[in-house]
Amino acid sequence: MNTFSCEFSQRLGALHYCEVPAPERKVLEAHIGLCPACAQQMEQLKALTQLFTTSRTAAVPQIILHRFAREVAWAGVLKLARALSCAAAAVLVVSTGWIWYTESADSQSSVPTASLALRTDSSGSSDSNDPVVQALMKEYGRD
Protein backbone atom coordinates (compact mmCIF):
# COMPACT_ATOMS: atom_id res chain seq x y z
CA MET A 1 0.00 0.00 0.00
CA ASN A 2 1.26 3.44 -0.90
CA THR A 3 1.47 5.82 2.10
CA PHE A 4 -0.23 8.57 0.12
CA SER A 5 -3.18 6.38 -0.64
CA CYS A 6 -3.66 5.33 2.98
CA GLU A 7 -6.29 7.37 4.76
CA PHE A 8 -4.34 7.17 8.05
CA SER A 9 -1.05 8.51 6.69
CA GLN A 10 -2.19 12.12 7.09
CA ARG A 11 -2.37 11.67 10.88
CA LEU A 12 0.95 9.92 11.43
CA GLY A 13 2.86 13.15 12.03
CA ALA A 14 0.36 14.23 14.67
CA LEU A 15 0.60 10.78 16.23
CA HIS A 16 4.39 10.99 16.26
CA TYR A 17 4.31 14.39 18.01
CA CYS A 18 1.66 13.20 20.52
CA GLU A 19 -0.96 15.59 19.17
CA VAL A 20 -3.85 13.15 18.85
CA PRO A 21 -6.37 12.27 21.55
CA ALA A 22 -6.07 8.85 23.20
CA PRO A 23 -8.97 7.15 21.35
CA GLU A 24 -7.58 8.19 17.94
CA ARG A 25 -4.08 7.20 19.04
CA LYS A 26 -5.24 3.65 19.79
CA VAL A 27 -6.89 3.38 16.36
CA LEU A 28 -3.76 4.71 14.62
CA GLU A 29 -1.41 2.43 16.55
CA ALA A 30 -3.60 -0.58 15.72
CA HIS A 31 -3.55 0.48 12.06
CA ILE A 32 0.23 0.85 12.02
CA GLY A 33 0.49 -2.74 13.20
CA LEU A 34 -1.47 -3.84 10.13
CA CYS A 35 -0.23 -1.37 7.46
CA PRO A 36 3.43 -1.75 6.37
CA ALA A 37 3.40 1.62 4.56
CA CYS A 38 2.29 3.54 7.67
CA ALA A 39 4.71 1.52 9.80
CA GLN A 40 7.53 2.51 7.43
CA GLN A 41 6.46 6.17 7.51
CA MET A 42 6.43 6.13 11.33
CA GLU A 43 9.93 4.64 11.32
CA GLN A 44 11.08 7.42 8.99
CA LEU A 45 9.54 10.05 11.27
CA LYS A 46 11.31 8.54 14.29
CA ALA A 47 14.62 8.40 12.42
CA LEU A 48 14.25 12.03 11.31
CA THR A 49 13.48 13.15 14.85
CA GLN A 50 16.44 11.16 16.13
CA LEU A 51 18.67 12.83 13.55
CA PHE A 52 17.55 16.31 14.61
CA THR A 53 17.88 15.63 18.32
CA THR A 54 21.33 14.02 18.15
CA SER A 55 23.00 16.31 15.64
CA ARG A 56 21.23 19.58 16.35
CA THR A 57 24.35 21.63 17.03
CA ALA A 58 26.30 20.13 14.15
CA ALA A 59 23.49 20.47 11.60
CA VAL A 60 22.59 24.08 12.43
CA PRO A 61 25.34 26.55 11.56
CA GLN A 62 26.64 28.59 14.46
CA ILE A 63 25.64 31.86 12.80
CA ILE A 64 22.00 30.79 12.76
CA LEU A 65 22.17 29.75 16.41
CA HIS A 66 23.82 33.09 17.21
CA ARG A 67 21.12 35.03 15.37
CA PHE A 68 18.40 33.03 17.09
CA ALA A 69 19.97 33.69 20.49
CA ARG A 70 20.25 37.38 19.63
CA GLU A 71 16.59 37.52 18.61
CA VAL A 72 15.59 35.84 21.86
CA ALA A 73 17.81 38.22 23.80
CA TRP A 74 16.32 41.25 22.02
CA ALA A 75 12.84 39.98 22.79
CA GLY A 76 13.87 39.84 26.44
CA VAL A 77 15.37 43.32 26.30
CA LEU A 78 12.22 44.71 24.71
CA LYS A 79 10.09 43.04 27.37
CA LEU A 80 12.35 44.50 30.08
CA ALA A 81 12.20 47.95 28.43
CA ARG A 82 8.39 47.79 28.40
CA ALA A 83 8.35 46.85 32.08
CA LEU A 84 10.79 49.66 32.93
CA SER A 85 8.70 52.14 30.94
CA CYS A 86 5.63 51.14 32.93
CA ALA A 87 7.60 51.48 36.17
CA ALA A 88 8.92 54.90 35.10
CA ALA A 89 5.40 56.04 34.24
CA ALA A 90 4.19 54.86 37.65
CA VAL A 91 7.06 56.71 39.38
CA LEU A 92 6.23 59.83 37.36
CA VAL A 93 2.56 59.69 38.33
CA VAL A 94 3.37 59.08 42.01
CA SER A 95 6.04 61.83 42.02
CA THR A 96 3.70 64.31 40.35
CA GLY A 97 1.01 63.50 42.90
CA TRP A 98 3.48 63.80 45.75
CA ILE A 99 4.80 67.16 44.46
CA TRP A 100 1.26 68.43 43.99
CA TYR A 101 0.34 67.26 47.49
CA THR A 102 3.42 68.79 49.13
CA GLU A 103 3.07 72.04 47.14
CA SER A 104 -0.51 72.42 48.28
CA ALA A 105 0.56 71.58 51.84
CA ASP A 106 3.49 74.04 51.61
CA SER A 107 1.24 76.87 50.44
CA GLN A 108 -0.78 76.42 53.62
CA SER A 109 1.82 75.61 56.27
CA SER A 110 5.47 76.05 55.35
CA VAL A 111 5.47 79.76 54.46
CA PRO A 112 4.26 80.82 57.92
CA THR A 113 6.82 78.45 59.42
CA ALA A 114 9.58 80.06 57.33
CA SER A 115 8.35 83.48 58.28
CA LEU A 116 8.41 82.47 61.90
CA ALA A 117 11.97 81.17 61.50
CA LEU A 118 13.05 84.36 59.75
CA ARG A 119 11.34 86.46 62.36
CA THR A 120 13.30 84.60 65.03
CA ASP A 121 16.50 85.13 63.08
CA SER A 122 15.85 88.82 62.49
CA SER A 123 15.51 89.52 66.21
CA GLY A 124 19.15 90.38 66.68
CA SER A 125 20.95 87.15 65.91
CA SER A 126 24.10 87.21 63.81
CA ASP A 127 22.45 85.03 61.11
CA SER A 128 20.46 88.02 59.84
CA ASN A 129 23.62 89.21 58.03
CA ASP A 130 23.77 85.96 56.12
CA PRO A 131 23.03 86.67 52.41
CA VAL A 132 20.82 83.59 52.19
CA VAL A 133 18.75 84.69 55.15
CA GLN A 134 18.53 88.20 53.72
CA ALA A 135 17.40 86.84 50.36
CA LEU A 136 14.75 84.73 52.08
CA MET A 137 13.64 87.67 54.15
CA LYS A 138 13.36 89.76 50.99
CA GLU A 139 11.43 86.95 49.30
CA TYR A 140 8.92 86.71 52.16
CA GLY A 141 8.67 90.42 52.74
CA ARG A 142 10.71 90.76 55.93
CA ASP A 143 13.40 93.42 55.88
List residues near Zn ion by CB under 5 A.
6, 8, 35, 38
CB atoms within 10 A of CB 118: 20
Name the minimum Å distance from CB 3 to Zn ion.
Answer: 7
50 vs 15, 44, 59, 84, CA distance in Å?
A: 16, 10, 13, 42
- For helices 131-139 and 62-121, the axis angle rounded to 10 degrees is 80
Nearer to Zn ion, 6 or 117 (CB): 6
Nearer to Zn ion, 12 or 137 (CB): 12
Name the minimum Å distance from CB 12 to Zn ion.
Answer: 8
Tell me how far apart the alpha carbons of residues 14 and 129 are, in angstroms, rounded to a whole number.
90
Tell me how far apart the alpha carbons of residues 123 and 48 are, in angstroms, rounded to a whole number.
95
Nearer to Zn ion, 20 or 35 (CB): 35
Q: Which helix (H) or strand (E) holds 88?
A: helix 62-121
Q: Hey, is 73 helix, strand or coil?
A: helix
Nearer to Zn ion, 38 or 137 (CB): 38
